[in-house]
Structure 1
């Protein structure tokens, strides 16, 4: 049985922040999953963490054998009231656990949870060269709604950003129940 099949998904608590940051920082050098060019510290991300209200914009972690191996967050899209039913979704997976379908499990959980958060649309911002993330989202029915050519510059190279989205039309799955 693969490790992906044993992953439990739960709400993050503040003691998880160092591991969440560690997983995020592992993505920085690849220049594939984040536009941050320097690593961050738990203190840098503490306010961001506290903004994730469980009833509205939760931050979830995936655990395997008691250790956090992935995380996912819902964030406000564009910060205006008319967009309250749309959320940006971010998923990060520890390097040793990538390629084990954890992203798919987290994405399915996000979609199942979204209606109970009054979210009708999910969007993701993905670098055009991030083939695994694009493949995951497209396989899950997300469509490219926009592309911002060469908007990011890292290490002297320009990178394009794809905006993918999906309109959700399913019944809510309460946070405490598996999806």
Structure 2
């Protein structure tokens, strides 16, 4: 972890004051998206005890975040959540994602989750490898659905079954 200890990373629930940093980190990953500060505020406001949003900080600096959202909002899928995970560029590959995922896994069964799904752009090979290292399986792909300014990518759908 490049000198970082897991205890140096603090994970907590997101609060409204985190919205600017959450937006900034999101835009580092997807700079061409039309997301604004109100969108980030909305994400935080939609989070709750069953579909939380966590942030990772070091010395008060927000360096990453993850959220769990209901999958399609259908009652028959209440046991499932879509995971979003974003780490600030300067903090990638330092264990921040693993620390956030440890928080997700520590809470998953308590909030009645047995399945996680993540959608990864096919060009994001490091994220695909990261989730595979956490035992996520490739469920399939949505071909050519990501229309970027200069190219098109697939979405790789990955999932994890959580067992007690």
TM-score interval, normalised by the smaller of the two chains = over 0.9
Tell me if structure 2 keeps the 8 A contact 1:126–1:161: yes
Question: Does 1:50 find its partner at 2:45?
Answer: yes
Q: In structure 1, what is the equivalent of residue 3 of structure 2?
A: 2
d(CA) in 2 for partners of 1:26 and 1:17?
Answer: 14
Tell me if structure 1 keeps the 8 A contact 2:20–2:40: no
Find 1:101's aligned residue among 87, 95, 101.
Answer: 95
Following superposition, the deviation at residue 71 of structure 1 comes to 0.5
Q: In structure 2, what is the equivalent of residue 82 of structure 1?
A: 76
Following superposition, the deviation at residue 18 of structure 1 comes to 1.1
Q: In structure 2, what is the equivalent of residue 157 of structure 1?
A: 151
Q: In structure 2, what is the equivalent of residue 113 of structure 1?
A: 107
Following superposition, the deviation at residue 150 of structure 1 comes to 0.9
What secondary structure, in the 3-state scheme, does the structure 1 residue paired with 2:97 have? helix
What secondary structure, in the 3-state scheme, does the structure 2 residue paired with 1:62 have? strand
User: 1:107-132: CA deviations, max 9, x gaps?
Assistant: 12211211111111011000111111
Q: Which runs of 5+ in 2 are unaligned?
A: none
Following superposition, the deviation at residue 151 of structure 1 comes to 1.2
Tell me if structure 2 keeps the 8 A contact 1:3–1:64: no
Q: In structure 2, what is the equivalent of residue 28 of structure 1?
A: 30
Following superposition, the deviation at residue 4 of structure 1 comes to 5.4
TM-score w.r.t. structure 2 length? Answer: 0.92
4+ runs of 1 displaced by more than 4 Å?
none
Q: Which runs of 5+ in 1 are unaligned?
A: 30-36, 171-179
User: 1:134-158: CA deviations, max 9, x gaps?
Assistant: 1111011110011111111111421
d(CA) in 2 for partners of 1:4 and 1:28?
Answer: 29
TM-score w.r.t. structure 1 length? Answer: 0.85
What number of residue pairs does the alignment pair up?
A: 162
Following superposition, the deviation at residue 39 of structure 1 comes to 4.8
Change (3 A) 1:39 1:64: farther
d(CA) in 1 for partners of 2:5 and 2:20?
Answer: 22
Give the alignment's Cα RMSD to 1 decimal: 1.4
